[in-house]
Structure 1
Amino acid sequence: MSDQAVRCYRHPDRETGIRCTRCERPICPECMVSASVGFQCPECVSSGSGTGHAPRANAPRTVAGGAHVDDPRLVTKVLLGINVAVWIAVMVTDGILLDSLELFGRAALTEGGPLEGVAEGQWYRLLTATFLHQTPMHIAFNMLSLWWLGPPLEMALGRARFLALYLLSGLGGSALTYLVAPENQPSLGASGAIFGLLGATAVLLRRLNYDMRPVIILLVLNLIFTFTWSNIAWEAHVGGLVVGTLVAYGMVHAPREKRVLVQRLTCAAALLAIIVVVGVRTLQLTP
């Protein structure tokens, strides 16, 4: 098989196993336009309109229905920038900001200390905790993972769907941690969101019929580290992985005719499940 046959005709540096159903040219996720059967390349979609430019209703879309953009890494860059900025702020404030944004407040982290955090109505901590890091190794590992996993997913899903996936995965990790972890167990970091992206990558590769062995091996290794290394909140990893996998499945397998509706319902169901979990745990902790 020639090199051209397995690489996107618009992006020669990207290997692919998908071809346009009309011209049979190989296309990567960024170039895929969902059709009634399979995928088409942007040129075939444009030429099919008879005007040389696809009308707005038939504009090229990603595998999940997102719009093609000039910079498919924008949301990934913004999320990375926010994480780094918050880490710097935590270092500068000497723990004051950390205490205000972590899943459990400093008083609750002391055995027998008073409740402080989500149980006291500070639900924002479920999200802010996912942007907190303390050690350079912690943030470096998470940000490298985000930079590696984020762009391909953002390219395939589109910006809005990718952002929803990231945030829901992070919230899912926080919710499971809040539900089952001891009140005095610190929990912070983007690991839940990263595991959600890892699960989503597996779903996307399966959807595109790509070789899944590399991502499966990576997932297994990360799960081994999760349950064997000390000072790792496995609850955040597992919660993020489950939510990210399910949300991604709903996004890439939604039927074309009702794609937006199914995707919105998938995200809404994930958010509702998170709210229920947090509500149940809050009732357990408060009189």
Structure 2
Amino acid sequence: MGPDVPAGAAPEEGHRLPGCYRHPERETGIGCARCGRPICPDCMVSASVGFQCPECVREGHQGAREARTRYGGAPALDRALVTKVLIGLNLLVFLLTEYLRPELGADLELWSVSYPYRPDGLAAGPHEWYRLVTAMFVHAGVMHVALNMVSLWVLGPQLERVLGRWRFLGLYVASGLAGGACTYALGGVRVESVGASGAIFGLLGATVVLFKANRAPLRPVMTLLVVNLVITFALARPNLSGVVIDWKAHVGGLLAGVVTGVGLMYAPRAHRNLVQGLTVAGVVAAALLVVVVHTAQLSG
């Protein structure tokens, strides 16, 4: 770095100040407070003492500890983004299958027929297992999609805020897959099911775990859970309105949500990412194993 020049003083005739390390053509009498590099006004970054160059600021940020939510997620400005995207996808698929292309519903719903010599849907093999995912976005009627989306909006933002986006999405998908697998395994020779209810019951189960982990009163969320289970089994058979609720998807999603929630919220801090990742992967693997085993039994 060149000789010190008093602030506001002009350099002696014939003497040139050093050039900025990034813009050599620009003379400057200011140096980085950390490394001493000459820096021009465009490169100066205000610090608690003096100015720093962009490289030193970048190194300082790399050494800083990244902020995380209580359960390891990255905080975000929009803490309900994934919830909003899921609601948007559900509504979009509903519009497509209900009004624009009704025939598309048959290709997306969770469908399985295992009558001898002509298996169809999930029972036909792995090329049809995509239905476990697509059926989570198909709904039967306005009331069906409305109730599920309201439930998703009530339960989703709170969990997404404390878990972070990716952990919340993992919880949702794992619960939905588990609900579909349970429906397939327990549905008999003919299975037909649609809706996000399995995933939403998973969120409900994880909410119970969240209340427990935070030592919050469990009565409100347990009351909500009991009411939903009563409705589930009360409408598990066709009634006068023609509504049939798939209790198998609800129970499967609920159990998956509880297990996933425990893994996400009680993981030891020292190995949190590993335990959380293995929990979500384990629930998904268990759901797929159920599908594989049941398909083998049907074809055996």
Q: 2:276 maps to what in 1? A: 263
Instruction: Give the one of 95, 101, 106 matched to 1:99.
Output: 106
Instruction: Give the one of 73, 79, 83 matched to 2:90.
Output: 83
Q: Is the 8 A contact 1:104 1:183 kept in 2?
A: no
- CA distance in 1 between partners of 2:277 and 2:251 (Å): 23
Q: Is the 8 A contact 1:54 1:60 kept in 2?
A: no
1:135 maps to amino acid: G
- CA distance in 2 between partners of 1:252 and 1:261 (Å): 13
2:123 corresponds to 1:119: yes
TM-score by length of 2: 0.74
Q: 1:43 maps to what in 2? A: none
Q: Which runs of 4+ in 1 moved over 3 A?
A: 53-57, 111-114
- Return the offset for 1:92: 2.5
2:46 corresponds to 1:67: no
1:208 maps to amino acid: N
2:288 corresponds to 1:275: yes
Structure 2: tracts of 5 or more residues without a match:
1-56, 238-243
| 1:262–1:94 Cα change, 3 Å | same
Aligned length: 233
Q: From the CA coordinates, give the structure whose radius of gyration is larger.
A: 2
Per-residue deviation, residues 20-47 of structure 1 (Å, max 9, x unmatched) = xxxxxxxxxxxxxxxxxxxxxxxxxxxx
2:267 corresponds to 1:254: yes
2:144 corresponds to 1:131: no
| 1:148–1:56 Cα change, 3 Å | farther
| 1:54–1:196 Cα change, 3 Å | farther
- Return the offset for 1:58: 2.4
2:216 maps to amino acid: Y
Q: 1:182 maps to what in 2? A: 188
2:121 maps to amino acid: G
TM-score by length of 1: 0.77
| 1:69–1:94 Cα change, 3 Å | closer
SS in structure 2 opposite 1:186? strand
Structure 1: tracts of 5 or more residues without a match:
1-50
SS in structure 1 opposite 2:119? coil
- Return the offset for 1:57: 5.6
- CA distance in 2 between partners of 1:93 and 1:74 (Å): 27
1:86 maps to amino acid: V
Identity %: 48
Q: Is the 8 A contact 2:98 2:141 kept in 1?
A: no
| 1:208–1:54 Cα change, 3 Å | farther
- Return the offset for 1:220: 0.3
